[in-house]
Amino acid sequence: MPDLSLCIIVRNEADMLPEFLAATADLRDEFIAVDTGSTDGTLEMLREAGATVLEQPWNDDFAAPRNTALAAATGRWILVLDADERPSAELVAQIRSLLDDDTAGAATFRLRNRLPHGHVRETDLLRLWRRDPAVVYRYPIHEDQTDGITHCLERDGRRLVNLSGTCDHLGYTRTVAAARNKKERDLTLLTTCIGADPDDWYSWYKILELARFWDDKPLWRDTAQQLVARLDGPPTATLPPTTWAGKLVALAAAGLFSAPAEQVTWLDRWEDRIPPTPAFYLQRGLALERDARLDRAHADFQRCRDLPAGAMPMNTTVRPLLGLCRVAAQRGDLLTAGDHVHQALIYNPRDPEALLAAVSFAWLNGGTEARDAFLAEHRQLHGDSIELSITVAEHALQAGLWSDADTHLAPHVGEPPRGRAALLLARSHLAQGRVEESRDLCREIMNDLPEAGMGYLTCCLVLGETADFSVDLEQARADRALKEWLRTLWRSRQAALMAKVVDHYPLVLGVFPWLPGFLSAETKKLTAGR
């Protein structure tokens, strides 16, 4: 019997498979692939790699081919990956080591999604478990096998392990996702599920997640409105006692209510109607924090810490610890705030929010020398990372340390330039008066990072040039991105460049009518800070 069966489902993945096969070479004691209709050479590549290839016609149901793969597997353990995922060497080693741990029954690892705006979000996913016929996938889209794994763990008295190794997910970077229309495909399948069963709460939950991922505020709001109307009456709905019920309620509150007090009121009504989950208390804690009810926010963040980690340990570790940090800072207890940040970094040394908080605290305590001491210690303990470099660069941009930003960003920009490092470098160029360089860099990257289009527009305003371009950016995100670029320019205090923006902003006033008031307010801040 093989130790590990790697199971995948595929369709026209010839472009993704070479890197996938290289990254998983040490994870394929047995290799099971279910193909749902490839026409591009995928099957031949899989067979050459030693896979058992099963062909199954596509019927708008992702769970079906997943279960076909599980039924064919014979290994002691099952590992499920997709062709657009790349396990790190660290994760490969952790998985191989876990296979002989008799106390372990399943494991999560960190999937790193590169978001459309250049950030990275890490999510703990349950993808590794001891093979058992009780574990099957449910739901035709965003298929899930958690309930079966939970049952087996409880039955056998084995534990869920949270591996720290990462796996990069390439499928939702903008260029790949746009080519495959994943957002539209997923939304169509989920909407079809709800049409067939309006009380399919899992599909409602997944549409809200989809809207959050893509920062699609109208979809998020409209879905939340429909869901809340269905949940609240009449008759009042009862959600199933699942681990995602709290996430569903939390996402609905965040999508529907802009005022934090309204979020809290609605969440309070649901607290006793769903199982206690970290996602619920984390969302309510965030709303309470925004509403300046710090005692209750502290209690909710602490409740997250006290609940079982389950398959989403970040919601019981890093996220609530950073909430506790912010509450302590608002109370003026910077020592406690700093302690919470360093605890968060123990759980995830690459978390951008935790890194930015740690760099900021070091800077406040001792300027550049203290910041550099923190960086040296962090690199010694956890190694270097692009997240650390980008965090230092973001802080440098906030603090006006333009050359520092350049130093930390330059190694990560790439050729051709891409990613958030290139976006931040363009902002640094603008702040240093290198407007043409900033404009050209923004133009290169804005197809993949639409926020760079607002940098391009800012540079055109400075230069008095016509900004003739198109990017996939809804108005709210465009407003936020343009404000960030303008704040960077105003923070640089380059009066001549600022004056040119003031001279030329009437050219775009029809699209951004808030510009006069915003620029006036930013100028007053500079005057007040002298």
Domain assignment present for 171: yes
Q: Looking at residue 39, which CATH number applies to its domain?
A: 3.90.550.10
User: End of a domain among 289, 316, 343?
Assistant: 316
Separation of alpha carbons 213 and 219, rounded Å: 11
Residue 324 CB partners (closer than 8 Å, separation 6+): 298, 301, 302, 305, 340
Structural domains of the chain, count = 3
User: Six-digit token pair at 186?
Assistant: 């997923």
HEC string of 357-402 equals HHHHHHHHHHHHHHHHHHHHHHHHHHCCCHHHHHHHHHHHHHHCCH
CB atoms within 10 A of CB 50: 10
Number of alpha helices (DSSP H) and beta strands (DSSP E) in the chain: 24, 8
Q: Based on the domain organization, do 9 and 144 belong to the same domain? A: yes
153 and 203 housed in the same domain: no
Q: Is there a domain that residue 523 lies in?
A: yes
Q: How far apart are CA 211 and CA 217, in angstroms?
A: 7
223 inside domain: yes
Say if residue 154 is in the same domain as residue 174: yes
Does residue 328 lie within any of the structural domains? Answer: no
Q: Is residue 406 part of a domain?
A: no
- Which two three-digit tokens encode residue 164? 């720290």
pLDDT tens over the chain, length 530 residues: 899 999 999 999 999 999 999 999 999 999 999 999 999 999 999 999 999 999 999 988 999 999 999 999 999 999 999 999 999 999 999 999 999 999 999 999 998 876 655 556 778 889 999 999 999 999 888 899 998 999 999 999 999 999 989 999 886 655 555 555 778 888 999 999 999 998 899 999 999 999 988 878 899 999 999 998 888 776 666 788 887 889 999 999 999 998 999 999 999 999 998 889 999 999 999 999 999 999 999 999 999 999 987 778 889 999 999 999 999 999 999 999 999 999 999 998 989 899 999 999 999 989 999 999 999 999 999 888 888 999 999 999 989 999 999 999 999 998 899 888 999 999 999 999 999 999 999 999 998 888 899 999 999 999 998 888 877 777 888 999 999 999 999 999 999 999 999 999 998 988 999 999 999 999 998 877 65
Cis peptide before 411 (omega within 30 of 0): no
Opening angle at CA 292, ends 286 and 294, nearest 5? 75
Report yes or no on 371 lying in a domain. no
Q: What is the CATH number of the domain that holds 305?
A: 1.25.40.10
- Look up residue 411 and give its DSSP letter: G
Q: Is residue 189 part of a domain?
A: yes
> Same domain, yes or no, for 10 and 113?
yes
Domain end point (choices 316, 334, 366): 316
Is residue 95 domain-shared with residue 197, that is, in the same domain? no
Q: 134 lies in which domain range?
A: 4-178
Instruction: Say if residue 438 is in the same domain as residue 469.
Output: yes
Strands 120-130 and 104-114: antiparallel
Contact of 505 with 461, CB cutoff 8 Å: yes
Indicate whether 196 and 275 sit together in one domain. Answer: yes
pLDDT digits (tens, 9 = 90+) for 304-333: 999 987 778 889 999 999 999 999 999 999
Residue 54 lies in a domain: yes
Taking the C-alpha atoms of residue 62 and residue 10, their distance in angstroms, rounded to an integer, is 10
Residue ending a domain, among 316, 347, 371, is 316
Please tell me whether residues 454 and 484 are part of one structural domain.
yes
Same domain, 129 and 199: no
